[in-house]
Every structure is written in C-alpha cells, then in structure tokens.
Amino acid sequence: MASVSYQTRRDEIETYFDRTAADAWAALTSDAPVSRIRRTVRRGRDAMRETLLSWLPEDLTGSTLIDAGCGTGVLAIEAAQRGAEVVAVDLSPTLVNLARERFRQLDQDLDVTFLVGDMREMDLGSFDYAVAMDSLIHYDVADGVQTLQAMAEQIQRKMVFTFAPKTPLLALMHATGRLFPRGDRAPSIEPVSPARLGRQLEDAGMMQAWETGQSHRIDVGFYKSHAMELTRR
C-alpha cells in the first residue's frame, strides 16, 4: 500500500507533467529550437540515455523491457530499435498520447506498447530489464526505493535508473527554476548521495537479490543526474 506522501507527490508530478510542463517536454524531446539552457539539458539527457542503454546488451532481440516513466517515449523507441519488446508506462496521459503519436509517425515495425499508469502499481507480467530515466528524481529516497522494490519483483535481469545527485542544492534548484521559469509548480527534485541511496537499498532488503554495478554521473550544463544499475544475483 503506497504511503500518503507517495500518493500526494505522485499526484503533483502527474499534474505537472500532464499540464504545466507538457508543452515544455514536448519541445525538449523534439528537434524544435529551444533556449540555450534547455539545449544543455537536451545534451545532458542524450548523454544519459546513451549511458543507460549502453549498460544493456547491444542486441536486445528476444528481450523484454519496461520503460518506467517514459515521458514522450524517446528511450522506449531506441530500445525497441535495438530489438527489445517494450512496454512504456507514464502517469501523464498527455505525454503518453504524444509518445503514441510520435511512434505512429515514425512508421517503423517496432514492438512498443505505451500505457498510462503508475510504475509502482504495474502488474504487467515479467520483464528482463527495467529503465527509469529521471522518473524517480521527484520522490524522496524512501519512496524511490520502495518503487524500485515494487518493480524489482517483476524484473528478471537488470534495472537501470537515475537519481538526482547531491550537489550544491542551490545550483540544482536554480537550474530547474530556469528550466521552467513561468508559473513553476514543479515538484521539487530530491537529491540523494550514492552512499545514502546504497544504504536505503540495503535497509530495504533489496541487496540480497540484487547487486549494484556501474554508476555514472552526467553533469552537462543545467542537466545533472546520476545513473545506477542493479543486476539480479
């Protein structure tokens, strides 16, 4: 049963991505011209996607993958282009519709199913891999770990995800404020150090079945995010 803090935060995130920031996300994840600041975010995000995908086998043919918090579906489509059968889930119906439309326009014979839903409550069967790029960064560490734990039950091989690195908080707040300056009702980002996250995963009992692997921080202009992998023992 999800905590009240989780549900409250999840509702804020849904409102934010579904309405307040939906247009900004549509632009950020397209080739449309964007401000200099958002260009650095785009570059950072490209580097992050490349990092996360590089931790999965190059050829994903025959593998199943869930993209948890897929947004407009960029990573889901790239994973499918590498052969994976992909299920992509997001809280925001607006972003999922956009993802579906972009996928349709791509007109490639790929296996991607886009669904609206909560990654923590998904009951979609079993997957080889889970990817959660920047979709846990707005939850506090306890809620983030519980979400990973819930997803882990359905993942057979590896989970790759990101969290917000604990860097000078002001810089991060400044960056997000500048990213969406007007009417900014963005749920705050919850930074956590890799060590604290590791302890929380340990305390949650996850490390009996999983081991941490590669860890990599991307720090490009206004984009700062830290990637981590968990592999089933």
Ligand X SMILES: C[S@@+](CC[C@H](N)C(=O)[O-])C[C@H]1O[C@@H](n2cnc3c(N)ncnc32)[C@H](O)[C@@H]1O
| Binding footprint of ligand X on the chain (CB under 6 A) | 10, 13, 17, 29, 69-71, 74, 89-92, 95, 118-120, 133-135
Q: Which is nearer to ligand X, 54 or 233 (CB)?
A: 54
Q: How far apart are CA 39 and CA 212, in angstroms?
A: 31
Note the residue count of the chain. Answer: 233
Characterize the bridge pairing of strands 112-116 and 127-132: unpaired
Query: Shortest Cβ distance from residue 71 to ligand X (Å)?
Result: 3
Q: 23 or 62, CB closer to ligand X?
A: 23
Distance in Å, CB of 73 to ligand X, minimum: 8
Cβ atoms of residues 66 and 125 within 8 Å: no
Nearer to ligand X (CB atom), residue 5 or residue 62 = 5
Q: How far apart are CA 166 and CA 17, in angstroms?
A: 23
Helix 36-54 / helix 169-179 crossing angle, nearest 10 deg: 110
Shortest distance in whole angstroms from residue 218 CB to ligand X: 12
Least separation in angstroms between residue 233's CB and ligand X is 26
Question: In the bound complex, what is the minimum distance in angstroms from residue 17's beta carbon to ligand X?
Answer: 4
Judged by beta carbon, residue 190 or residue 195, the one nearer ligand X is: 190
Minimal CA–CA distance to 41: which of 52, 54, 25, 28? Answer: 28
Spatial distance between the Cα atoms of 12 and 21, rounded to a whole number of angstroms:
12
Q: Please provide the DSSP assignment of 74-111 as one string.
A: HHHHHHHHTT-EEEEEES-HHHHHHHHHHHHHHT----
**Smallest distance, Å, CB 183 to ligand X?**
18
Q: Which is nearer to ligand X, 17 or 129 (CB)?
A: 17
Closer to ligand X at the Cβ: 64 or 211? Answer: 64
Task: Give the side-chain half-sphere CA count within 13 A for 167.
Answer: 16
